[in-house]
Chain A
Amino acid sequence: MRFKTASSPHTTPVSSVNVIMRKVLMAMIPGTAATAYFFGWGVLINICLACVVAISSETLMLYLRKRPMKPYLSDNSALLTACLLAMALPQLAPWWLTVIAVSSAIILGKHLYGGLGFNPFNPAMVGYVIVIISFPKEMTQWVPPAVAGYSQLGFLETLQVIFAGSIPAGMSWDSITMATPLDTMKTQLGLELSINDIHQHKVYGPMFSSVSGVGWEWINGLFLAGGLWLAYKRIIDWRIPAGLLGMLFLLSNSFALYDYSSFTPPTFQLFSGGIMLAAFFIATDPVTASTTIRGRWIFGAGIGFFIFVIRTWGSYPDGIAFAVLLMNMTAPLLDYYTMPRTFGHHWSEFPGHHKKEPEE
């Protein structure tokens, strides 16, 4: 929406969807660059492929639904979904995996519910959950971070792996892919090793840094910076990430204090996997998040709670997508029960409030 104002003292508020989406995309650049630095060409190839698939699925659905092309295609929302999803997929994911993830995100997650603004679930997370449930093996094809000791594939080799599924001569899947720190931590903790043992381990030790995993602290730090800029610009509401990170910190800190050898410290929890990306870019999706102030605190804290529970006791190494979808389901209820009172109206007029009537 663009509100044109007639006379000079006013500035034109620019709050259209495409500007918001563009700023969110811009804020993702530092974190994305760090990811590409540590995890190689696969990141950029995934993003390009995801964007192409997103735009074509969007076009196809707009055509089938007989909606105007230009306003919907230029709102950048499909591109944002594609980029978020591409960041979540493993770098050496085969091309068809990205195609299935992105097209189901746009078609099933967004357009079948009525398009942008009507989708109850975050489309990117719907796409991610569909592929992680369907293709658990392919979803493990993460590459080792680009630091001393690990070899990485060149651009052409990466293209070949993604599009032809052929591994360069003399290499095996085990030599070009590696479990993520979160995954390793979970597996090794399951084998009764203590966190200290895992850090000292001669095979798995080098992938951990003093903060979290090698490379991951930079990626999460830069997403955090981008997210703070978005919050400062008032494009996202700070309460959702604050609730999410606060709850995750609270839980992980309590458990780590209780038993530091089998529960990872809060720094590891906060700077591993896609936490900052989830807190600032995924959970804050204006369509699928709660919209009231108290609702947003609860919404964020709920996601943080489920992430911790799934990471610690679940069967998947990370639980961001499931946590976001679970809380997406509760958003309408949260909005209903946390509706603020409008000035001039009595509490009793609001459905969610059961305050006792004052005795008359």
Chain B
Amino acid sequence: MSDVNYNEISRSGLWTNNVALVQLLGLCPLLAVTGTVINGLGLGIATLITLVASNIIVSLIRNWVRPEVRVPVFVMIIASVVTTIELTMNAWFYELYKVLGIFIPLIVTNCSILARAEAYASKNKLLPSAMDGLMMGLGFAGVLVALGAMREAIGRGTLLADAHLMFGDIATNWTIVLVEDYSGLLLAILPPGAFIGLGLIIALKNVIDRKLEKRQPKIVAPAGSEATS
């Protein structure tokens, strides 16, 4: 299997098959914790690590698990990985762990992780599977951070508030205040803001896709004609 196209895996994970924007999976944590950039980043990284680790393990054991029992086995693997991450965060990022609360253990139920294990890792070799987990995770984390930034900027007028929860004491001054004395738009912080924000990000992606599609023929056509002539 030397013909694995890593560019294709990256493109699919980050853009064309993005977990949050195209597959619309894992919306519960996506909508619930993206009140700030740091919360989004925290959960994004936790999900990313889970995806990579579970994809690696599933890929390694793919030839020994009978198809009849594969789903329970995958869920066990994912649950173990998430428990490890939860305990790690409890130990080293206690404040962030408290903020994210139930959504860390709930990563287990994020359908995108089981979906990647089932659809990709159980059929592919170690390296492509790890790459797939990494790119899917990055795509998901990217959307979490973007949505977090959008909601934090509109809702609280700041960016990177509470960065010390994640980066330690050096980050206490990282908070960027966009608008002084901002009274806050509570709606953006509340759940409706998450739905509206995600809708707007999906719309933006569709606009960009359409622009790219329009540009495509102009670039492809001359290249194709040169090849045939």
Q: Which residues of A contact B (CB under 8 A)?
A: 100, 108, 112, 130, 133-136
Contact = CB atoms under 8 A, between A and B. Distances in A.
A136 B196 CA distance: 20
A134 B192 CA distance: 11
Given A134-B185, A134-B186, A135-B183, 15 more contacts: A100-B185, A108-B196, A112-B199, A130-B187, A130-B192, A133-B186, A133-B187, A133-B190, A133-B192, A134-B184, A134-B187, A134-B188, A135-B185, A135-B186, A136-B186
Contacts of B186: 133-136
Contacts of A136: 186
Nearest to B155: A134
A134 B188 CA distance: 8
Contacts of B199: 112
A135 B183 CA distance: 9
A103 to B, nearest CB: 13
Contacts of B187: 130, 133-134
Contacts of B185: 100, 134-135
Nearest to B200: A112
Contacts of A133: 186-187, 190, 192
Interface of B: 183-188, 190, 192, 196, 199
18 contacts: A100-B185, A108-B196, A112-B199, A130-B187, A130-B192, A133-B186, A133-B187, A133-B190, A133-B192, A134-B184, A134-B185, A134-B186, A134-B187, A134-B188, A135-B183, A135-B185, A135-B186, A136-B186
Contacts, number: 18
A3 to B, nearest CB: 38
B53 to A, nearest CB: 39
A290 B192 CA distance: 25
A136 B185 CA distance: 10
Nearest to B196: A108
Tell me the interface secondary structure of chain A in the complex: helix
Nearest to B184: A134
A134 B184 CA distance: 8
A118 to B, nearest CB: 15
A296 to B, nearest CB: 28
Contacts of B192: 130, 133
A130 B195 CA distance: 13
Nearest to B185: A134
A100 B199 CA distance: 19
Contacts of A134: 184-188
Contacts of A100: 185
A21 to B, nearest CB: 27
A122 to B, nearest CB: 16
A36 to B, nearest CB: 28
Contacts of B184: 134
B87 to A, nearest CB: 37
Contacts of A130: 187, 192
A112 B202 CA distance: 13
Counting from the closest, the 4 A-B pairs by CB-CB distance are A134-B187, A134-B186, A134-B185, A133-B187
Contacts of A108: 196
Nearest to A94: B183
B186 to A, nearest CB: 4
A108 B188 CA distance: 14
Contacts of B190: 133
A68 to B, nearest CB: 22
A20 B102 CA distance: 52
Nearest to B199: A112
B5 to A, nearest CB: 37
A326 to B, nearest CB: 14
A51 B186 CA distance: 25
A108 B184 CA distance: 19
Nearest to B203: A112
Contacts of B188: 134
Contacts of A112: 199
A360 B190 CA distance: 58
A100 B196 CA distance: 15
A100 B184 CA distance: 13
Nearest to B183: A135
Nearest to B193: A134
A108 B192 CA distance: 12
Nearest to A100: B185
B12 to A, nearest CB: 28
B100 to A, nearest CB: 24
A338 to B, nearest CB: 29
Contacts of B183: 135
Nearest to B188: A134
A100 B183 CA distance: 14
